[in-house]
Amino acid sequence: MTNPRQPLQTGPRIGLHTGIGGGLDRSVQRAAEKGCQTWQIFSRNPRGWTARPLDAAEVARFREERAAARLDPCVVHSCYLINLAATAPEVRDKSITAFRDELERCLLIGADYLVVHPGSARGGSPEEALTACATALHAAARGLEDRLHAAPLTILLENTAGQGEQIGRSFEQIRDLLALCPSLPMGMCLDTAHSFAAGYDWRDAEAAERAFRLLDETVGFSRVRAVHFNDSRAAFRSFVDRHWHLGEGEIGLEGLARVIRHPFLSHLPFILETPQDNPGDDLRNLEAARALSLRQD
């Protein structure tokens, strides 16, 4: 029998967020062309409440391209407008409807993970916001529970930088949200830039070890299912969300290496959300991530 505390020895699967312009299947082709082993997409316009339906032919092409490219797992990032912690009725209703659509689209295409930001308190207490987020998740999933448990799909709460009134900046809050949703298939997506800006210092060996220990004691390594692997342009404990190129930001290569080489995280999919302002930026960041994963120090 496998010891549940025995680190997994397989290396990370490294990939990018790729665009869906021209059809979902084009995202697979773009990821494969760049040598990705995994990848992340939006399944719809990330900055709009409405989305065009997915037709059967597009879904079939996506599934065929994915099987041919052997990309795994498929990570979908939910629409940016969704605020599951909102108390304003109009925003809350739109967020629940949009997240329901995200769930249905993920089930349709066979996605493995759906990443969502927990949302913003917007004047309420963090405790109220956590409860609001959990009830919104249940409302969005109502009637889909059997399909969710039969599918490979897991909802992943992404930790936030804590900007404004965002919830999810601490590992404790992610733990509490997961505890409020025991009937849903859920886990966590760890974002390195967000966690750094929120006060988890990956640069210092002792501070990083404390952060890893807290992550395990609260969320649990087994529930961390993916990593958004980004350097941070924002300063430590700034509570500002600014992704940057690997090794060129405030975390630096040493700090990032501690995450991608951690024995209880190194088997996970590592998705880069670094800027792509210039030709070759994504390939350089992919190469940097691969080099960090192979370090032996």
The secondary structure element, H or E, covering residue 227 is: strand 224-228
Beta pairing class for 113-116 and 154-158: parallel
Q: Which of the residues are catalytic?
A: 47, 77, 80, 117, 158, 191, 194, 228, 241, 243, 273
Look at residue 17 and tell me whether its pLDDT is greater than 50.
yes
Please, what are the domains in the chain? 13-293 (3.20.20.150)
Q: Which of 94, 92, 160, 77 is nearest to 124 (CA)?
A: 92
Q: What is the pLDDT of residues 131-174, one digit of tens each?
A: 999 999 999 999 999 999 999 999 999 999 999 899 999 999 99
Q: Using CA atoms, how far apart are residues 280 and 271, in angstroms rounded to an integer?
A: 17
Q: Which of 215, 213, 219, 250 is nearest to 235 (CA)?
A: 250
- Whether the Cβ atoms of residue 285 and residue 292 lie closer than 8 Å to each other: no
Look at residue 4 and tell me whether its pLDDT is greater than 60.
no
pLDDT-based confidence at 122, cuts 50/70/90? confident
What is the pTM (predicted TM-score) of this model?
A: 0.95
Look at residue 229 and tell me whether its pLDDT is greater than 70.
yes
Q: What is the pLDDT of residues 196-225, one digit of tens each?
A: 999 999 999 999 999 999 999 999 999 999
Query: What is residue 120's DSSP assignment?
Result: B
Q: What is the pLDDT of residues 34-61, one digit of tens each?
A: 999 999 999 999 999 999 999 999 999 9
- Whether the Cβ atoms of residue 231 and residue 274 lie closer than 8 Å to each other: yes
Q: What is the pLDDT of residues 65-91, one digit of tens each?
A: 999 999 999 999 999 999 999 999 999
Give the three-class secondary structure for 112: coil
Q: What is the pLDDT of residues 137-147, one digit of tens each?
A: 999 999 999 99
